[in-house]
Amino acid sequence: MAILRIPDEDRVLTEVEVIRDHLAKSGIWYENWPVEGRCGPDASADEILASYAPEIQELNARGGYITADVIDVTPEVPGLQAMLDRFNKEHTHAEDEVRFIVKGSGVFHIHPDDAPVYAIEVREGDLINVPAGTKHWFDLCADRCIRAIRLFREKAGWTPVYTESTIASGYQPLCMGPSYLRGNTFRIQPAITVA
């Protein structure tokens, strides 16, 4: 189940209904689908899509989506960091970003115009729909693994449009925790005092 953090208010939300209500203020859909008794998280993409076909059809009707696929990201994906670097800066899309998490986890940071930035960590069973035009960025969690169903009206609309804001650099990828900062991706420099 998801965890929603509002760093500027030092708040953490963990109840599905409370998370759903908070996200709805930004026009974001959030649901938690049952996964017990479905195909396993390592099933083929076709098996996953068939297993969730009723939910996909309902979302297609609700949001006008016409295609669905399964994305599978692991640490072994060639060029993984370059791919992640496309999405860990603040951006928008011309169409909704719809994800149902089959395996793994990640964190969406949402930057509403009229409220503080918040981060929603999504995990197995979570569905999120970030509406077109919503300022956000995305990071993987520590295992750098996520498998998700994606829905599109047209894939070209999912290209990131960067805001050129540097706000994302001020927010830690929360699900990775402080140990991530000590990894190869970042190097912490000691403070320098100028007299």
- Specify the pLDDT at position 1: 86
The domain total for the chain is: 1
How many whole angstroms separate alpha carbon 85 and alpha carbon 73? 14
Residue 144 covered by a domain: yes
Does residue 194 register a pLDDT over 60? no
Report yes or no on 82 lying in a domain: yes
- Whether residue 46 lies inside any domain: the answer is yes
For residue 171, the model assigns a pLDDT of 84
Q: Which domain holds residue 139?
A: 3-181
Q: Is residue 186 part of a domain?
A: no
Neighbours of 27 (CB within 10 A): 14
pLDDT at 13 over 70: yes
pLDDT for the residue 158: 75
Share of the chain above pLDDT 70, in %: 88
Residue 187 covered by a domain = no
Mean pLDDT of 148-167: 89
Residues 6+ apart with CB under 8 A from 180: 142, 172, 173, 186
Q: Can you give the three-state secondary structure of the chain, one letter per residue?
A: CCEEEEHHHCEEECCHHHHHHHHHCCCCEEEECCCCCCCCCCCCHHHHHHHCHHHHHHHHHHHCCCEEEEEEECCCCCCHHHHHHCCCCCEECCCCEEEEEEEEEEEEEECCCCCCCEEEEEECCEEEEECCCCCEEEEECCCCCEEEEEEECCHHHHCCEECCCCHHHHCCCHHHHHHHHCCCCCCCCCCCCCC
pLDDT for the residue numbered 174: 61
For range 22-51, the mean pLDDT = 93
The verdict on residue 161 lying in a domain is: yes
Looking at every residue in the chain, the average pLDDT score rounds to: 87
Q: Read off the CATH number of the domain in which 170 is found.
A: 2.60.120.10
User: In this structure, which amino acid lies at residue 80?
Assistant: L
- Look at residue 194 and tell me if it is in a domain: no
In the chain, pLDDT over 90 holds for what percent of residues?
73
In a domain, 190, yes or no: no
pLDDT at 195: 37
